[in-house]
């Protein structure tokens, strides 16, 4: 199995039970080893009292992309710490694209950067996630 095939199989296994990402309206558009792209369209129920995408929704999209990137090797991996900086608002109807890239993987610990943009390539947020591998796999080898 190639690294890309393993990443795709890992993503399919995770997606099958990821009710939160599905409920929010996310889609996986690309996955590879240490890399994932998730997208979603901002709907009315994603907007806050200012009429813009709620920061928690943007965070959730970035966190989900991070999760698919750091679980791409079929090793169960969870978040250890995350932070986000918002640079522009997501707006109703925007297509938000979260691109997660592995920065470092040493032993059981990883660092991932996620950039969230809209359909016009405007940067919405920058997210950094620290991961920790735990016991278990997403699918049987």
Round to whole Å and give the CA distance between 7 and 34.
8
Going from N- to C-terminal start, the domains of the chain cover 3-133
pLDDT at position 38 over 90:
yes
Region 41-45 average pLDDT: 97
CATH code of domain 3-133: 3.10.129.10
pLDDT for 103-125, tens place per residue?
999 999 999 999 999 999 999 99
Q: What's the whole-model pTM score?
A: 0.96
DSSP code, position 48: -
- Report pLDDT for 8: 97
pLDDT for 72-103, tens place per residue?
999 999 999 999 999 999 999 999 999 999 99
DSSP code, position 59: H
Reference 107, options 72, 141, 75; nearest CA is: 75
- Report pLDDT for 141: 80
pLDDT at position 7 over 90:
yes
Q: How confident is the model at residue 30 (pLDDT cuts 50, 70, 90)?
A: very high
Owner of token pair 């997208």: 39
CB 12 within 8 A of CB 79: no
pLDDT at position 51 over 90:
yes
């Amino acid at each position: 199995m190639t690294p890309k095939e393993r990443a795709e199989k890992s993503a399919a296994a995770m997606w099958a039970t990821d009710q939160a990402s599905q409920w929010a309206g996310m889609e996986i558009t690309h996955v590879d080893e240490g890399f994932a792209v998730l997208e979603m369209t901002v709907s009315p129920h994603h907007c806050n009292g200012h009429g813009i995408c709620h920061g928690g929704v943007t965070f959730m999209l970035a966190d989900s992309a991070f999760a698919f990137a750091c679980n791409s090797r079929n090793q169960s991996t969870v978040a250890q710490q995350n932070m986000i900086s918002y640079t522009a608002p997501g707006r109703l109807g925007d297509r938000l694209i979260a691109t997660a890239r592995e920065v470092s993987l040493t032993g059981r610990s990883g660092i991932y950067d996620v950039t969230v943009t809209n359909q016009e390539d405007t940067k919405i947020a920058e997210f950094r996630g620290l991961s920790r591998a735990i016991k278990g796999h997403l699918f049987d080898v």
